[in-house]
Amino acid sequence: MMAAKSPNPMPKYVIERDIPGVGKFSPAQLGEASRKSCNVLHKLGPRVQWVQSHVTDDKLYFVYIATNEEAVREHARQSGFPANRISEVRAVIDPTTGGA
């Protein structure tokens, strides 16, 4: 039996965080940042969910599911991480979108 889909699923956001030199962080430093973020997410409850992150030389890109942009900003405030740009995802495409 399949679970019923929520009639209004929470929107997905891409968060861009400017953190100079983050691409050179050690696994221990990245792990500490992850723990700090998860502690705040636990306090905020289900209204903000961390899906995935990508580390580049000087930026982090996060994918979150959240009730709204303000919930994402609240996570940033409480965790002490910047949220330089927050963009709501309007669609997701992949190679199969074009019929591949």
Query: Does residue 79 register a pLDDT over 70?
Result: yes
Close Cβ partners of 89 (under 8 Å, ≥ 6 residues apart): 11, 12, 13, 14, 63
Confidence of residue 98 (pLDDT cuts 50, 70, 90): confident
Cα–Cα distance for residue pair 36/5, rounded to 1 Å: 31
Cα–Cα distance for residue pair 62/53, rounded to 1 Å: 4
Cα–Cα distance for residue pair 81/18, rounded to 1 Å: 9
CATH 3.50.50.60 matches 12-91:
no
pLDDT of residue 100: 66
pLDDT of residue 2: 54
pLDDT of residue 6: 56
Cα–Cα distance for residue pair 49/38, rounded to 1 Å: 9
pLDDT tens, 52-66?
Answer: 999 999 999 999 999
